[in-house]
Amino acid sequence: MNRKLLFALGRPFSPLYSLLMSVRAICYRKGIFRSTSFEVPVVSVGNLTMGGTGKTPMVKYIARLMQEKGYRPAIISRGYGGATKERINIVSDGSNVLLEASYVGDEPRMLAESLPGVMVLTGVVRRLPAEKAVELGADLLILDDGFQHLAIRRDLDLVLFNSDTLAGNSRVFPGGDLREPVNALKRCHGFVLTGINNHNKERALKFINVLHEKFRPTHCFINGNSLSGVARTRQGRTEENLTPEALSGERCYAFCGIARPEGFKQSLEELGIDLAGFLALPDHHIYKENEINGMVSRAKKSGASCLLCTEKDLVKLGHFSLPLPVYALCQEIIPDSSFEGFILDRLQVKK
């Protein structure tokens, strides 16, 4: 069943869901529902829409920036796709990566591997891993996908929009892409449009003008993406010390389990990757051995010399014994020229 049909079926229920989310936000604002404050700065990276907006690269960017400024940041995540039901999961203590992607989710594991020195913790009630992180010495908390998680107060609330999809169909779930009504944007401090390129730039700039008009004086920024390198798995660990030239001459069978697979495929085509095939799977997909074997078989039949995926997928493949090399594209954001200064000013950090 396609998205348009699902949204059409869900549209009659959108007003009720919208009302519930609005009442929930009011209850937090009025103190009816408890919202915990921390003595350390808290940054939330989230979105209004469903689907991928580039939150993970943004979380990585902020964590590295604050590390450079002398902070010891900790990333707090819900841990979507992980099997654990534990209330506190220490994915990384800053020195060692401790838990597998199948247990805590692909994104926390990926962040833990790519950010040495940064603690990564997960839990359904995010206040609990946040408290544990502070207990372990974190002096700054980054909430991954935190815009709707109002149980923790924040000093900086960033909302990201994908420059290709923007606000989707502008209807609230289940009749549309929005997690809550548009008025929720009044509580954020900055909007970031991610993945800007020549194809979507004009439309994205018009969208920014709309945001400026409706939510002044909230700041707006435009961030691009760039390929920072190529990663691969070796002995169950992800390595990121390869250059893009590692794929030169390779014929790749690509696959991904992310929210916007079309964006990944477009990136591969723009890079001129020789694709033998492409397989899109659901977001946070858990790979099984028979599935991997089938993928390898199809790749070989298509003449592929390697498998190619996203970083998020790669961290879930370390325990498989694969006859073909497995690579992943590593992406990082190209920040707006004034974005770093905005973050540091908001958090009152000396530059």
pLDDT digit string (tens) for 199-233? 899 999 999 999 988 997 789 999 988 888 888 76
Q: What is the distance of C-alpha 67 from the center of its chain?
A: 19
- How many other CB atoms are there within 10 angstroms of residue 312's CB atom? 26
The predicted structure's pLDDT at residue 92: 98
**pLDDT exceeds cutoff 80 at 236:** no
The reported pTM is: 0.92
- Best CA proximity match to 152, nearest among 126, 122, 134: 126
Residues 189 and 56 in one domain: yes
In-domain check, residue 202: yes
What does the pLDDT look like over 77-131, one tens digit per residue? 999 888 899 999 999 999 999 999 999 999 999 999 999 999 999 999 999 999 9
In-domain check, residue 160: yes
Is 179 within 8 Å of 168 (Cβ atoms)?
no
3-state secondary structure 313-330: HHCCCCCCCCCCCEEEEE
Residues 34 and 183 in one domain: yes
Stretch 22-28: mean pLDDT, rounded? 98
Stretch 231-254: mean pLDDT, rounded? 76
Mean pLDDT, the chain, rounded, equals 92
Residues 218 and 231 in one domain: no
In-domain check, residue 196: yes
**pLDDT exceeds cutoff 90 at 37:** yes
Residues 55 and 148 in one domain: yes
Residues 26 and 144 in one domain: yes
Stretch 334-345: mean pLDDT, rounded? 94
The predicted structure's pLDDT at residue 239: 60
Residues 161 and 308 in one domain: no
Residues 286 and 241 in one domain: yes
**pLDDT exceeds cutoff 70 at 44:** yes
The predicted structure's pLDDT at residue 271: 87
Is 175 within 8 Å of 53 (Cβ atoms)?
no
Residues 232 and 148 in one domain: no
Percent of the chain with pLDDT over 70: 97
The predicted structure's pLDDT at residue 52: 84
Q: What is the Cα–Cα distance from 260 to 49, expressed in whole angstroms?
A: 12
Residues 218 and 243 in one domain: no
Query: To 5 degrees, how large is the angle CA 294–CA 300–CA 306?
Result: 100
Q: What is the Cα–Cα distance from 143 to 63, expressed in whole angstroms?
A: 11
In-domain check, residue 214: yes
In-domain check, residue 20: yes
- How many other CB atoms are there within 10 angstroms of residue 116's CB atom? 12
What does the pLDDT look like over 126-169, one tens digit per residue? 999 999 999 999 999 999 999 999 999 999 999 999 998 999 88
In-domain check, residue 170: yes
In-domain check, residue 29: yes
Number of domains composing the chain:
2
- Best CA proximity match to 252, nearest among 234, 214, 227, 279: 279
- Best CA proximity match to 193, nearest among 179, 211, 181: 211
Residues 63 and 187 in one domain: yes
- Best CA proximity match to 191, nearest among 149, 163, 155: 163
Stretch 56-69: mean pLDDT, rounded? 96
The CATH number linked to 309 is 3.40.50
Q: DSSP string of 73-95? A: EEEEE--TT-----S-EEEEESS
Q: What is the distance of C-alpha 104 from the center of its chain?
A: 15
**pLDDT exceeds cutoff 70 at 267:** yes
In-domain check, residue 89: no
**pLDDT exceeds cutoff 90 at 313:** yes
The predicted structure's pLDDT at residue 128: 98
Residue 236 structural domain: 226-333
Residues 193 and 322 in one domain: no
Residues 320 and 253 in one domain: yes
